Amino acid sequence: MAREAAADAVAVLRARLDDADAGGAERKQARDFVTIADEAAEAVIIERIERAFPDHAIVAEESGGRDRASPWRWLVDPLDGTTNFVHAFPVFAVSIALFRDETPVLGLVVDVVRGEWFTARSGEGAWVDDGDPGASRRIHVSTVDDPERRLVATGFPFRWPELTDLYLGAFRDVFEQVGDMRRAGAAALDLAWTAAGRLDGFWEIGLSPWDLAGGEVLIREAGGEITDWTGGRDHRRTGWVAAGSPAVHAMLVETLAPYVEETTGG
């Protein structure tokens, strides 16, 4: 069902990508946009979920979803990387996750442009395919631990300009311990690529639960770690995320934790 819902959303996004209306975005908040495509893609996902699981709660970026008293909770980002989409910059994704209470059940991230599907179910590992689940390949986090070879991704705190100085300090400290850094502008894909070992780690400030939920399941099932900056499990609430292979995740937490103390006064 999750794959069918994602396929519906991908079809909506691909149809809108070259549509002149896709750029006619309504401003949600500073430097953040919601397009007609976002809302249309979310609607088809919610329709699929509600048809299959009418009693499940849904948390979704654009509409808010469907608030129900249920241990089952879907987290839906119909278009992660909206600014990229608006500019036809080819890095954006559909992300869907299912949790039972706080336990991850499944995660799915689709790279809309490349047609790669990253999927994971609890206890069954993480996989990637090109749209045919019968041709899935198992993925694992990186084993790289040489600092000069580490490739780590990040995201800018564009919604939180007051955190710019803190972020730049953290960037400098992480950058000194890696070979290079990337910023593609779609956290769900950064997490999927980390799960697949293409990146060794990922860190960011100010993400929403739907931005990272699908990728979180992928990271865990691919043998990685994902936490908040202190190594705790508050990342979905705070949006301060550190993820990667066990070794790189440990480096990120050690480096980033002091910045959390700075914002909280210790």
Given a cut of 60, whether residue 25 has pLDDT beyond it is no
- Integer Cα distance of 45 and 23 in angstroms: 22
Domain 2-139: CATH class, spelled out: alpha beta
Q: Which two tokens stand for residue 16?
A: 């809108």
* Residue with the two structure tokens 């070259």: 18
Question: Would the CATH topology of 2-139 be identical to that of 147-264?
Answer: no
Please write the tens of the pLDDT for every residue from 128-142. 999 998 999 999 999
Q: Which two tokens stand for residue 59?
A: 């948390």
Contact 214, 96 (CB under 8 A): yes
pLDDT at 88 (0 to 100): 86
> Hey, where are the domains in the chain?
2-139, 147-264
Our CA dihedral for 25, 27, 28, 30, rounded to 10 degrees, sits at 130
Question: For the purposes of burial, counting CB atoms within 10 Å of the CB of 256, is it exposed (0-12), middle (13-18) or buried (19 or more)?
Answer: buried
pTM for the model: 0.93
Question: In the predicted model, what is the mean pLDDT of residues 1-10?
Answer: 97
Please write the tens of the pLDDT for every residue from 82-128. 989 988 899 999 999 999 998 999 999 999 999 999 999 999 999 99
Given a cut of 80, whether residue 21 has pLDDT beyond it is no
The dotted CATH code for 147-264 is 3.40.190.80
